[in-house]
Structure 1
Amino acid sequence: MAFRILFQDRWLCAIGKPPGIMVHRSNIGTDREFVLQKLRDQLGQRVWPVHRLDRATSGVLLFALDPEAAGRLGQAFMDRRVDKRYLAVVRGWTDERGEIDHPLARHDKAERREARTRYRRLAHCELPLPVGGFETARYSLIEATPETGRRHQIRRHCKHISHHLIGDTTYGDGRHNRLFRQHLHCHRMLLHASRLELDHPQEGHRLELAAPLDGEFARVVEVIFGWTEAGPGVRIQGTECNTD
């Protein structure tokens, strides 16, 4: 299956990455297919990754098409001149807006480094389904904006504030993950890189790159929140839902 091209010119290419595929080869992974090689074959030319998304995360993924553009784009990410926005479904009702300022280490023995994530709540709901000793289950749809780029930052920050990301088998809450699998037939992590904004590496103008939600993610947020990218939609019977 070919990747959806969101934007392409002589210097860069942005795709809509599906969940379940790694960006490039990993020392610990056993995957046989990677975005890097598949996109290279699809375009018929070499591509350079300038950032990454986790295997389970979908959304905007940017590649350079020449080494000079790769260097400039990589520096823009390092200098925090790229605005990254994600959509996520988390357990519980978050505050309407918030900032998580919690240092993170790459691994247990490493030094913790500053890590900040801002978020705003787009919708929240209460499902008539028991979970974790409660008679109902509450969830929030948030837009998360990481100001730093630490490993698994949004996932770990959601865990830190006890609003675990749904479908996250590493940092999430298994009870809520099971509820989504059994009652909503959702088997993916609900984290989507919805938007990237940055200066074009060659021409200088501002680029706004957006990836629409894939089918499973879009279906779930419409069913439980009555939320679509075009506005309020239809929701599950018995759900108490508010669009913020």
Structure 2
Amino acid sequence: MTDISVLQEAAELTILYRDEHYIAIDKPSGLLVHRSFLDKHETQFAMQMLRDQIGQHVFPVHRLDRPTSGVLLFALSSEAARDINQLFIDGLIEKRYVALVRGFLNESIFVDKPLKEELDKIADKFAQQDKAPQQAQTHFHCLHQASLPIEIGKYPTVRYSLVECFPKTGRKHQIRRHLKHLSLPIIGDVNHGDNQHNQFFREHFKLRRLMLFASGLKFVHPYTQQPIIIKAPLGETMLGICQQLGWPNNEKDYYGDY
């Protein structure tokens, strides 16, 4: 888990994978992928920073929300971008996320719940406002659970789960919204989360970020036909929280079958 404040000190992005066609970084939480007129005051963007770091143009092939950290893949040519984009379109790239949520997920579950498009008041003011909900599917699997004898709201204890998330479609805020649908809001989610638990994590763990991590990408390379697995670490901050919740504090314990 890379935080943007750490990045500002290091001045370089962490490269997770590179070949002659593609490059993947560990995007920090809080860093925009590219320039946006909605954030005119921002001066740092993953695409421009990576371009300057490696000395060549890069082409984004997917996106991560600003508060989400983890694997962000770029192509090194427009042709490579076109070919990897087709894999995304065809559903041939497996995306794995890890989320810290309020509540217990007691078993694996597949959510097939269409989502109405979330429109931004400024960026989407000319977009069609009455679109039908779009197909959205996510598979969830619980990695760990914890219960703490702390009273928040009307409950004498608090429960948390660490959940693997495998989105099969790519709707805006899909994982966050599907977990909210399951009454398992992600810690640190301002728009779809639980403010009481967000505040608890700010006060108790000094945490001020969305606890959603793009932890892995898996696909067959479009040119070499070799299987590619790219992983991003959860990082010391998250591992420290895991340890306080009674979970393992070793990165390898959080990759499932990856």
Fold match (TM-score > 0.5): yes
Structure-2 residue corresponding to 1:236: none
**Residue 13 of structure 2 corresponds to residue 3 of structure 1:** yes
**Residue 205 of structure 2 corresponds to residue 184 of structure 1:** yes
Instruction: Using the TM superposition, give the Cα deviation of residue 32 of structure 1 relative to its aligned residue in structure 2, in angstroms.
Output: 1.9
Structure-2 residue corresponding to 1:104: 115
Q: Distance in 2 between matches of 1:217 and 1:144?
A: 17
Structure-2 residue corresponding to 1:237: none
Paired residues of 1:123 and 1:227 also in contact (CA < 8 A):
no
Question: Structure 2 matches for 1:68-147, cutoff 5 A?
Answer: 68-107=79-118, 109=129, 110-147=131-168
Instruction: Using the TM superposition, give the Cα deviation of residue 214 of structure 1 relative to its aligned residue in structure 2, in angstroms.
Output: 2.3
Q: Secondary structure at the match of 2:234?
A: coil
> Structure 2: 5+ residue runs without aligned partners?
1-10, 120-128
Worse overlay, 33-42 or 200-209: 200-209
Paired residues of 2:118 and 2:172 also in contact (CA < 8 A):
no
Paired residues of 1:123 and 1:225 also in contact (CA < 8 A):
no
> Structure 1: 5+ residue runs without aligned partners?
233-244
Instruction: Using the TM superposition, give the Cα deviation of residue 206 of structure 1 relative to its aligned residue in structure 2, in angstroms.
Output: 1.1
Worse overlay, 114-123 or 124-133: 124-133
Deviation digits for residues 142-175 of structure 1, max 9, x if unmatched?
1010011111110111111110000011111100
Worse overlay, 127-136 or 79-88: 127-136
Instruction: Using the TM superposition, give the Cα deviation of residue 216 of structure 1 relative to its aligned residue in structure 2, in angstroms.
Output: 2.0
Instruction: Using the TM superposition, give the Cα deviation of residue 105 of structure 1 relative to its aligned residue in structure 2, in angstroms.
Output: 2.0
Structure-2 residue corresponding to 1:18: 28
Structure-2 residue corresponding to 1:230: 252
Q: Distance in 2 between matches of 1:154 and 1:5?
A: 25
Quote the RMSD (CA, aligned, Å). Answer: 1.4
Paired residues of 2:95 and 2:216 also in contact (CA < 8 A):
yes
Instruction: Using the TM superposition, give the Cα deviation of residue 23 of structure 1 relative to its aligned residue in structure 2, in angstroms.
Output: 0.5
Instruction: Using the TM superposition, give the Cα deviation of residue 29 of structure 1 relative to its aligned residue in structure 2, in angstroms.
Output: 2.0
The one-letter amino acid paired with 1:18 is: P
The count of residues paired between Structure 1 and Structure 2 equals 232
TM-score (norm: length of structure 2) = 0.87
Q: Secondary structure at the match of 2:26?
A: strand
**Residue 76 of structure 2 corresponds to residue 65 of structure 1:** yes
TM-score (norm: length of structure 1) = 0.91
Runs (4+) of structure 1 exceeding 6 A deviation are none
Q: Secondary structure at the match of 1:227?
A: coil
Structure-2 residue corresponding to 1:208: 229
**Identity level (%):** 43
Q: Secondary structure at the match of 1:77?
A: helix
The one-letter amino acid paired with 1:25 is: R
